[in-house]
Amino acid sequence: MHFDPALLIYAAVFVTTLLLIEGAYYLIRDMREGPQQALNRRMRMIAAGTDTQTTLRKLRRDTKDPLSRLLASIVPSTDRLILHAGLTISITRLLLTMVVLWALTFGILEVLTPTSTILSVVFAILAGCGLPYLYLLYKKSARLKEFGEQLPDSLDLIVRGLRAGHPVSSALSLVAKEMPDPIGSEIGIVVDEMTYGLDLSEALKNLANRVPHEDLHFLVVTIQIQYMVGGNLAEVLGNLSQIIRDRYQMFAKIRAVTAEERQQVRRVYVEEERGGGGMTAAIGRLVDDLGVTVHPVKPVGKKATRIEVLATLAEQGRVKLLAGAWNQAFLDEAEEFDPIGDTHPHDDAIDAATHAVTVLRDAPTYLGIPSVKTAGIAG
């Protein structure tokens, strides 16, 4: 029986049309409600007449669908990713979207391109599974970043409520009503969980599971410790808010100061010796956070020949050393180097220096870039 790939396109178009109609309905409904009526999704749902228990269930993605429960137990990481991304769709809906994308991609490749069936299946799987996952990862990253930016202002609002004499639950309610998403709805879930009998510690643990942000972890631990040992919670949260602000300001200053440096190419060349792969990997991990690329290189030619370029430039006064504790050891090694003898003990620094000078001299043609900062490291 011959299978017509065009049927997959028709089916995918039909399902996609249904999803677009549903999305347009929710978009028009949200636009009619107006953003001025509520600052976050939870408050909009309550303003639309949804009861608190239903709102809580939807925001926490509590579902009674047995298929969704089964799929969540099979692929819990995907279910957590949806939760961290701040979406309320079920995992069943996500898998249905993946199937639609797969069918649409496969049908297009089969009908419109000369691609073989095997490649069409592979590309369709990559598109069907990869695109939704990439979208979820993007949403998670953007949501966590926005949550971190909102956290200091939310802490200040809690502190003002506590200093005005309100209990913690009332101070949290201020954040749930006055702050936009994502933190407004998330703190609102905490308030609703406390309303239905959950204590503050457990509600905050649930919040940390939904929003895996490191600064939020500090907040949860701070409140838990305060509840166990007592103390001035308003002062502690005020200090935490200031610490988070100072840290963000420090990161911003570092990015501003190093912006020009990060635009330049920085490479570290490590002499590749027999058995030295472990050290090369260790250096790579050490400088990875600095945006530096490690390149293992094999020495070519005799050391005595390679050192001629370095010696010539040094005699012309064109070689300078950055001040550091390693200067004297390097100079002692250079002084003891014997270009005539057959053996050259302790000449690793000479190897690194000669290669660094060669790269700097030939940078435009050797690397094809206008400006290069290099360093040699003895292997």
- Per-residue pLDDT of 68-124, as tens digits, reads 999 999 999 999 999 999 998 889 999 989 988 898 888 888 888 888 889 989 999
| Residue 340: per-residue pLDDT | 62
- Provide, rounded to the nearest whole percent, the portion of the chain with pLDDT above 70: 73
Q: Which domains are seen in the chain, by residue range? A: 6-143 (no CATH), 144-257 (1.20.81), 260-377 (no CATH)
3-state secondary structure of 362: coil
Taking residues 275-281, what's their average pLDDT?
A: 53
Is-contact 50 67, C-beta < 8 A?
Answer: no
338 phi/psi in degrees, rounded to 5? -110, 100
Q: For the residues 334-356, what does the mean pLDDT come to?
A: 67
CA distance 303 to 342: 10
Q: For the chain, how many residues are written?
A: 379
pTM passes above 0.75: no
Q: What is the C-alpha to C-alpha distance for residues 17 and 100, in angstroms, rounded to an integer?
A: 11
